[in-house]
Amino acid sequence: MKPSDLIRLTPGKRVLYLTKDPELIRRQLAGELNLEMAHLRVEDLLDDINTDAMTPAWVCFSHRPEDIARDAYAGLIVDGERLFARDVLRDGGFEVIVSGYRKGVGSSRETAVQAEKWCGVKITVAASFAPIHAGNNINQGVLMADHAMLERLEAGDTVPLEEFASGFDPMTRLKIRWGGLFPFSKALAAGEIELPTVATGERPMTMAEKILARHLRGSGSETGYVQPGDAVVVDVDAGYSHEFTTAQVHEFLAREYGAEYKIANPSSFAVFEDHLIYADEVPKMRPFLDKIEVLRELQRVFQRHTGVRDFSARDGVSPGICHEVARELIVSPGQFVQATDSHTCMGGCNNALTWGVGTTEYANLVHSGFTTVEVPESIRFELTGRLAVGVTAKDLMLHILLRYARPQMTLNKVMEFGGEGVASLSMDERATLTNMATECSARGAIVEADKKTIDWICARRPHEDRKALEDGAVTADSAAHYDGGVHQIDLSAILPMVAHPGDPDRGIPSDPTNGALVEEIGDVPIQIAYGGSCTAGKIDDLEFYHRVVKEAVGEGLSIAPEVEFLIQFGSAEVAEHCRRHGFVETFEQAGIRVIQPGCGACIGCGPGVSEDPEQVTVSAINRNYKGRSGPGRLYLASPLTVAASAFAGRITAYKPGMFRQLPVTV
């Protein structure tokens, strides 16, 4: 429904403050307490509320928003108990919800916004929003405000809708005025909206800007140039969804356009069965297996209905994690790709512009073949030198998270990687850089292309035209402007890193002289070591695990007795590489559990998930938000550190020859 031109608080409705003091939240939910912004500070409010807390994985097994809303904020756990009981937000009469900085970090799941909206929340207030989450609010017609605006509303003021739309590009302002993406799109199709034109003159451009300029359609730019803030309509080259999200895409398209809806360019889009393939191995997921099967079946219905490319499991084995398979078989240099997952940005390693979107936005773009975009700002990282032995791209990303993302320098920007140091990184290591852009709350990431890029793609797609791939590649202009600045990183200065439980940007460097971690982390015994996920299930990652395992086995070692070590392939290609080179035999000799391709522990839906709050995991996955991979404490580290720690029994950075000093385990 199109919102009123004047926004005011509804008499009898309430404002919920997500405070750092959980008792205050409990009392508000119980109806015992009403707070006001005039008596609070922003510092009193929760920061970094992630989408996993708003709608944990098991909540997303329901695909209808009205069902999802019943378990809003089910992932906010205090002292082992849910802070938000079932239906408490829906039945509380709240129309405004308030938090601190970086609301909605984490995955792209639009269910987080749907949970609030279908509980009656019309306005969400925060000091800043993660970019995908902000887009999901806009697409769903939920208004975003800051704390000063809330004070005015609570004082009884009426605030013009235009103030909620201020600061956004002209296209986004139109979406806000119309009440969301679907109403906007229908009005556009009916000729009720005149799109803004872009008149940016000739200028040097970043890689992201060049790709978007190349994909302009309709009103577009009159000059063929764009700049940050320009609102444009762009064609989408490719996209994909998976069994966690496809059911909603199908549901929304049927609701908006009828059961016989059509999509544009079916061959450009795909579905994957990868995220829930091992959910039956997690005891806490077993009660939801019937719902999971409904999601799978609805994805099959969508695939048959639309004719999109099918990457379903065969005989219970997935072809691989969507992002890994997409970079192998789908994403090409210079393309613009959208998919329903926050780690879509991984495709930027192929010199493409890729990022995740919510289900509403994805449904709209597959229906039309194009989407609307505000040209994002960029931040450039000039890499020099080479990573030292024992250091990986995962360590580099944990360094960037600590130094650049934590102070919000990467927020909503495209991270551009260039410089002579890029040539020293393999394509798999470049994929680690782009994959974790979403942990930086960035819009996406893109790496400069070189011969290695084209060779890697051609080796996997012999039918591809090599010259077309080369012609599609983009480089930044030397005089391009970076709103986030240009930052030099000497790869040789990066140390092995580990991120503390709770957030990927809480990194601590290790001591390079002996491989032991600095005193800040201390002695941390582990019970689980996990190597896998889209971030760390690539061929190079398996090479890293194997390097450590082979060295340890050669010294007569097995996995530490108290540790379970699991390694999972990212795709069928990775699995075949490991079988062909004898990795599997070495892993099994050491006592490692080897798992076929797919997601799993990373989203709490597969082997490697903790079952006890006291369990400690060291993992090579991309994010370690509380509860995402079970109730235990999860440290993030590189594949080398994960493997070394499994043999040492405690978090330990890898150093060649280190196992000669460890006692032999039997």
Q: What is the dihedral of CA 242, 622, 593, 564, to 10 degrees?
A: -140
- Read off the pLDDT of each residue in 189-202 and give the average, rounded to a whole number: 87
- Encoded amino acid at 370, one letter: F
Mean pLDDT of 632-651: 95
160 DSSP β-pair partners: 6
> In the predicted model, is pLDDT for residue 627 greater than 90?
no
- Tens of pLDDT, residues 592-605: 999 999 998 988 88
**CA–CA distances in Å: residue 252 to residues 196, 247, 248:** 27, 9, 6
Supply the pLDDT for residue 221: 56
**Contacts of residue 663, Cβ cutoff 8 Å, sequence gap at least 6:** none
Phi, psi (5° rounding) for residue 363? -60, -40
Number of H helices, E strands in the chain: 23, 26
Three-state DSSP class for residue 470: helix
Note the pLDDT of residue 510. 61
Cα pseudo-dihedral 246, 362, 473, 272, rounded to 10: 0
> For the chain, how far is it from start to end, CA to CA, in angstroms?
67
- Inform me whether the pLDDT recorded for 517 exceeds 80: no
Mean pLDDT in residue range 450-457: 98
Contact of 135 with 82, CB cutoff 8 Å: no
pLDDT of res. 515: 45
pLDDT average, residue stretch 507-517: 54
Token pair, residue 613, equals 């709050």
What are the boundaries of each domain within the chain? 6-189, 207-372, 499-666
Average pLDDT over residues 347-352: 98
> Which amino acid belongs to residue 154?
E
| DSSP label of 403 | I
pLDDT band of residue 665 (cuts 50, 70, 90) is: low
Torsional class of 511: left (φ above 0), alpha (ψ -120 to 50), beta (otherwise): beta
Instruction: Decide the pairing of beta strands 123-125 and 528-531.
Output: unpaired
The two domains 6-189 and 207-372 share their CATH topology (first three levels equal): no
pLDDT of res. 662: 62
Higher pLDDT, 600 or 55: 55
For position 506, what pLDDT does the model report?
76
Higher per-residue pLDDT: 631 or 28? 28
pLDDT of residue 661 exceeding 80, the answer is no
Q: Give domain 6-189's CATH number out of 3.40.50.300, 3.90.180.10, 3.20.19.10, 3.40.50.10330.
A: 3.20.19.10
DSSP assignment of 86-105, as one string?
A: TTTTTTTTEEEEE--SSBTB
pLDDT tens string 402-428: 899 988 899 999 999 999 999 999 999
pLDDT one-digit tens code per residue, 238-297: 999 999 999 999 999 999 999 999 999 999 999 999 999 999 999 989 999 999 999 999
What is the number of other CB atoms lying within 10 angstroms of the CB of residue 389? Answer: 9
pLDDT in the model for residue 518: 38
pLDDT at position 511: 58
pLDDT interval class at 85 (50, 70, 90): very high
What is the CATH number assigned to the segment(s) 207-372?
Answer: 3.30.499.10
Does residue 664 register a pLDDT over 70? Answer: no
Q: Is residue 299's pLDDT more than 70?
A: yes
Query: Among 100-104, 501-505, 638-642, which stretch is predicted with the lowest mean pLDDT?
Result: 501-505
CA nearest to 100, candidates 125, 76, 126: 126
Closest CA to 348 of 474, 468, 467: 474
Does residue 519 carry a pLDDT above 50?
A: no
Specify the CATH architecture of the domain 499-666.
2-Layer Sandwich (3.30)
